[in-house]
Structure 1
Amino acid sequence: MLKVIKAGIEVLVEDWPGRLGYMGLGMAAAGAMDNLALQLGNAVLQNEIGEAGLEIAGGYCQFEFIQAGVIAICGADMAVKLNGEPIALWEAIPVKIGDQLEFDHFGTTGFRAYLCIAGGIDVPVYLGSKSTCLFGSYGGFQGRKLQVGDVIEAAAKVKDSLAGRKLNPKYIPQYTNEWELRAIPGPNSAPDYVSEAGMDYLFSTTMKISHNANRAAYRLAEVPDYFWAREDGGKGGSHPSNIVDHGYNMRGAINVTGNTPSLLIADGPTLGGFVCVANVIYADLWKIGQGIPSRDKVKFKLTTVEEAVSARRDRIAMLAAEDLVITNR
C-alpha cells in the first residue's frame, strides 16, 4: 500500500501484545513501545485492537501511497503533512494513490508516532505476532527497520464509514517531559539486595533518561552506593548488582547493572545476572516508549499488585468504551 521514500531514524512494524510465550527460549515479546497509541489508532480505524502499525521513532520519514486507503496517526506530534498540508492526529484520514505522507521530527513531548492503516499491515505472522524484534532480526518486515524503497503491503480496507471518525478528545493521552511510572518492588529488592534507603531513593528521585536508550533498555541516571544492602554479589559476582543468572520480569523490569538502572522493555534481554529491583505496571508501559532520550525524566511511584490489576482493568474498559471514538458526521 505504501512505499518508503525516506526511512527516518527508525520505522518498524509492531503489533500488540507482541510475541508472547517464548521468553523461555530467549525470545523477547517485542511489540509496540507505546501500546496505547497503537491500540487507539486501530480503534479509530475499526481494526483489531492489537493490529500491527508502523512505529516511527524520532521522525524524519516519508511515504508514498501506491494504493488508496484510510490511515490514522497517533502518538507523538511530528508535524505530519499529507501532500504538504498538515493533518490531524487521532483521526481517520483517507489517502489516494500518489499521496505523499511526511513526518518531521519529534517535538517538545513524545518520541514515537504510530501509522495505522485500515485493514492492517500484511506481513508474515511469526510465532503468533507481526512484531519486529530488532535484537533478534526476526518478525515484522524482514526482521529489520524499514529502508528506502521498501513496499509495505496492507489490506487497504476502504470504507466510507471510516471518514470523519476520530478519537474522543477526553481519551487522548497526556504527554509530558517527566513521566510518572507506577512500579511494584521485586523480585530482587529490600532487604536482601537493596537497602531501605536505596528503595526510598528509587521511589523519590527523578531520573533523567540517558542518550543510551533503545527498544531493549532505557538507561537512567546512576544510583548512589548506599542503594545496596550488601557489599558484593556473592556467588553471582563482585558487584552488589550481580546475581546468579535468572529470568527477568519483562516487560517493564527496573534492572540495575553496576549502579546504572535500566528499564527493560520490548526487545530487552529475557534473563541475566543482574538484579531487577522493581517492575513498571502494565498500564504505564506505554509511557516509557514516549520518553525522549537525553531529555525526559522518569519518577517511579510505589504501587501494589492490587492497584496494578485495577489500572489494567481500567485500561481494558477504556478501550471498550462506547464513546471512545466519535464521528464528525
Structure 2
Amino acid sequence: MAEALLALKAYRVSLKISDKYLEVIRGIDLKLAKGEVLGIIGESGSGKSVLLKTMLGLMDYDSYRVDSGTLLYEGESMLELPIKKRYQILGRSIAYIFQNPKQSLSQRKTIQYHFKEQFKVLGKPYDASYVKQLLSDVGIENQTTLLKQYPYQLSGGQGQRIALALALVAQPKVIIADEPTSAIDATLKLKMMKLLKQINEKYGTAMIIVTHDFDVIHHITQRVVVMYGGLVMNEGDTQALMKASVHPYTRGLITCAESLKDMSSTLYELSGYPLNPLNFKEACPFAERCERKTISCEAMVPIMETYRGERYRCCHPYLDANDGGLAHA
C-alpha cells in the first residue's frame, strides 16, 4: 500500500450516556493512502459515523472522549493538539459531507452566501469564476440561477452536488462522504457515484465513503473496511471481498444485497439484530448471529489475521473451497 495520508492506530472512543461513558469504538486501525477511495460499510450502529466524527472533532466535545490511540495526518500527530489547532489543519485538508447536506445549510441564506462564507473561513477573497467552475465540475449547468436559490428550493441530488462543490473550495486532500446516496433515488445514485469517481480522478482527492450500500462500495471504492460492533471485522481489496470474502459477516451482507436485486430468488436476511453497545463483551460481536459459531467464539474477541492480502477478525473464516467457501484466485 502507498504511503498513508491518514492513519488511525488502536483508536478507542467512549460516548457519554447518562453521565457515564460507554465504549463504542473498541480499537480501530485504519489507513487511507493518497488518492485512494476507501469504503467503510456496516449496518446501522456499527460505529462508522461515530468513528469519523470523533476523529475530526465534529461531535460536541463533552459528548465523548478518546480513550486511547493515535491519529496521524501526513505523519503529524493530531490528537495531542488543541481542538482549535486540529480544526485549522483538518478543516482545510479534510472535508466532511454530512448524510443530509441540505440540513447542514442555512435555509434562510442563498447558495452563493454559503460559498462566500466558505471563502471567508479560508481567508481567501471570493472567486466567482472558480465557484462556477466547481459547480460545473459537479454537474450543475445553470450556475448563476442556482447561486441565487435557497437550500429548501433544491432537490436531494442538487443538495448533494452543492455539498460536494462547497467541500472542493478548500481543495482538500481528503473528502469524507457520510451516506452520499441515501437521500436520492436510484437514477441519481448512479450519477453521484460517477461524479465522486470523476472528482477523485480530476483532483486526486482521497475519499472515505461511509455507506450501508454495497452498490456504492462496488462501483467507486478500491478498498473496503467492514465494521461491526465498534470493530473492523474485515478489510481488503473491494473486488476480492465482493467475489469471495473469508468473513461470514461480509458474505451475509453481500448475500442480502444480491437477493434484493434478484427478484426471482428468496429475500435473504441475516438472523438477529446488530449488537447494542450496552451488550458489548469480550467475545466476537457477530457470534450470536453467525452460522459458523462455536463455543470458542464467546471466549474472546478474535484478533485480526491476514489471508492472501485480506484482513479478517473471525474464529472460523472461509479459507477453503471444501469448507463451504469459495476459493480465492
Is the shorter-chain TM-score for this pair beyond 0.5, marking a shared fold?
A: no
Higher helix share: 2
- TM-score (ref. length: structure 1): 0.25
Higher strand share: 1
- TM-score (ref. length: structure 2): 0.25
